Structure 1
Amino acid sequence: MAHELLCIGLLTLDVVARPVDTLPAGEGTTLIEGLAVAPAGTAGGAALVAAKLGLDVGLAAVVGDDLSGRFVRLALEEEGVDCALVRVRPGRRTSATVLPIDSLGRRPTLHAPGAGFLADASDEVVTAACSARFVHYGGVGGPKLDGGPGAALLARARAAGAVVTCDLIAPGSGALDELRRLLPHVDVFMPSAAEAFALSGASTPEAAAAFFHALGAGGVIIKLGGEGCYVDVAGAPERLPAHDITVVDTTSCGDSFCAGFIAGLARGMPPVQAARLGSAVAAQVAQGLATLGALEGYAASVRLMESLTAGETAQ
């Protein structure tokens, strides 16, 4: 089945608790305001948010054959994500992350690696990518995708007419070499500022974007967190402001930005306007816990986007 969007790569289970400013001593107990569990990851989180925004979404990823894996699939399917290409790896646990969020929204990470990075470029995945309108790649660092298979997959998808976007998560030592393979086949690359600066050696979004353009990326969006984003797509660089919100949890805000951007493109928005929608989606997510946060859907995201026009101060 052809999808509007196929997400490929990392899938995890997030367990988010807030606020956790200190750990109780010994075996003590501290009451907190809330706890949430949700599918996440550069592919899984983007797929979940995109489905919430009304896109027809497929996901190519891997979970373990444990209770966490069954829960992740169920939660994705309940939101409308097609999990036919979410493979179950026997004898492996599902990747999972515990995020104790403090009162300021900061999120230290406790990650238990598992099957989540074992997505591959099987014939079924390639076929699905070649029939999708958009392919979002969150597989950098995956041992079955790095070194050539991922780049070949994106090359075929793009040649078939898909718009290809790419994001990162905690890029390792081989990430830059992998980006050299991937970016010539990527229409829009969307790293965070920390990732972009670390990989490029640049100290400004403008210089970082130029670096990734030189590696072959068609367009670059650098996510700047509370400072908004830098959009360099179609030769019209622009800085966009962020919304002034009360942050609850920034978990998956980067993935939600990507999903919002793709949803905007899918609905006919030009890239800068689609980036504004991505910012509005991320702002809603940041006001609640876990991957979906306080996200209401596409219509609410458009209303929030329209409340912040170019050149205004975020409100």
Structure 2
Amino acid sequence: MKTGLACIGLTTLDVVARAIDALPEGEGTTLIEGIACAPAGTAAGAALVAAKLGMSVSLASAVGDDLVGRFIRMALDEAGVDLRALETLPGLPSSTTVLAVDSAGRRPNFHALGAGMLAAATPQALAAARSARFLHYAGIGGPRLDGGPGADLVQAGRETGATVTCDLISPQPSALDELKRILPHVDYFLPSAAEARMLTGQDDLFAAADIFISLGARNCLVKNGGLGSVVVVDGARTTLPAYAIKPIDTTSCGDSYCAGFIAALDRGWPPLAAARFATATAALVAQGLATLGKLESFEATEAAMRAMTLNGDV
């Protein structure tokens, strides 16, 4: 019986500092509220959150053979993520992002390219795709995956019975060609609102979702930050509101939405209810620093859904 989740795509380390409202002149020391480090990226971030929510998770990606790569491995291993398909690429640094989060939760970031973008369709990645109940493909934009290898992984997962979800790595306009290969094998496509608008040229997010469905996706959920999400699933077309929270750091909220959605589907929740759980997952992540924020468990997230107020509720 197929179980668990396989995540394929980008792995980075996020170093998050808050609150930084301006860069001081000179070289003096400025005290801030906190600093956190965590594995992140479209694949590793989703993997870490899904593991926190109780899923069995494997990660197919790449890190460098540096201290950062060893730290990423250690943190994911401690979370229980299966790393047999996580490559270590000799002579390369690991992808790393420094995020300077301001008092309003905005997060200008500074990214150093590294091995994380070089995830590949290795035999280990193929085995992970074939063995998982859920396959989260978050590799569009990866140079070793685009052009066919990534589509082969997604097709293999789909043909062996996986439920396939898909997210994007900061796409260029060329990503639309890759989506034409990938989306016919995807059950749920989960772009951000900015990505959906950029790729389709549509301001209306329902119209953008319709374009992705016309390219083959069976369903589409567009993540729209503090405005919630636009959901087109199983014939239903609706907007789900976000929760009324004070965001501390919105890093990895998109990845956590994906992971929360998958974790709820894994528990047998219908898609609309799973999207509401995904919204709550992202809200908890946004209330703390880095990939996990204030996330504790699946059960705690269920409780938070009952306790938090939705935007627009009286």
TM-score, scaled to structure 2: 0.97
Residue matched to 2:312: 313
Rounded Cα–Cα distance in structure 1 between residues aligned with 2:5 and 2:169: 20
Identity of aligned residues (%): 60
Per-residue deviation, 1:28: 2.0
Once residues 173 and 15 of structure 1 are traced to their aligned partners in structure 2, the CA distance between those partners, rounded to angstroms, is: 28
Verify the 8 A CA contact 2:136 2:165 in the aligned structure 1.
Answer: yes
Q: Which residue of 2 aligns with 1:200?
A: 200
Corresponding residue number in structure 1 for 2:215: 215
The residue identity in structure 2 corresponding to 1:313 is G
Partner of 1:52: 52
Question: Residue type of the partner of 1:149?
Answer: P
Q: Is the 8 A contact 1:243 1:314 kept in 2?
A: no
1:232 counterpart residue number: 232
Counterpart position of 1:96: 96
d(CA) in 1 for partners of 2:199 and 2:63? Answer: 29
How far 1:17 moved relative to its partner? 0.2
Q: Deviations over 1:156-201 (max 9, x none)?
A: 1101100000011311232111111111111100011001011011
Q: Decide whether the 8 Å contact of 1:49 with 1:256 is kept in 2.
A: yes
Separation in 2, partners of 1:24, 1:73 = 34
- The residue correspondences of 1:101-250 to structure 2 (distance < 5 A) are 101-250=101-250
Q: Which amino acid aligns with 1:74?
A: M
Q: CA deviation at 1:26?
A: 1.6
**How many pairs are equivalent?**
314
TM-aligned CA distance change 1:190 to 1:19, over 3 Å: same
Q: 2:290: which partner in 1? A: 290
- Cα distance in 2, alignment partners of residues 282 and 251 from structure 1: 10
- Unaligned stretches of 5+ residues in structure 2: none
Q: Determine the C-alpha separation between the residues in 2 that align with 1:277 and 1:170.
A: 25
| One-letter amino acid of the structure 1 residue matched with residue 194 of structure 2 | A
Mapped contact 1:3–1:57 kept (Cα < 8 A): no
- The match for 1:5 is 5
Equivalent position SS for 1:139 = strand
Q: Is the 8 A contact 1:16 1:101 kept in 2?
A: yes
Aligned residues of 1:43 and 1:61 also touching (Cα < 8 A): yes
Instruction: Please report how far the alpha carbon of residue 313 of structure 1 lies from its aligned counterpart in structure 2 after TM superposition.
Output: 3.2
**2:173–2:199: 8 Å Cα contact kept in structure 1?**
no
Write the letter of the residue equivalent to 1:132.
A
Runs of 4+ in 1 over 3 A off after TM superposition: 306-309, 311-315
The CA deviation at 1:314 is: 4.8
For the 8 Å contact 2:84–2:124, the answer to whether it is kept is: no
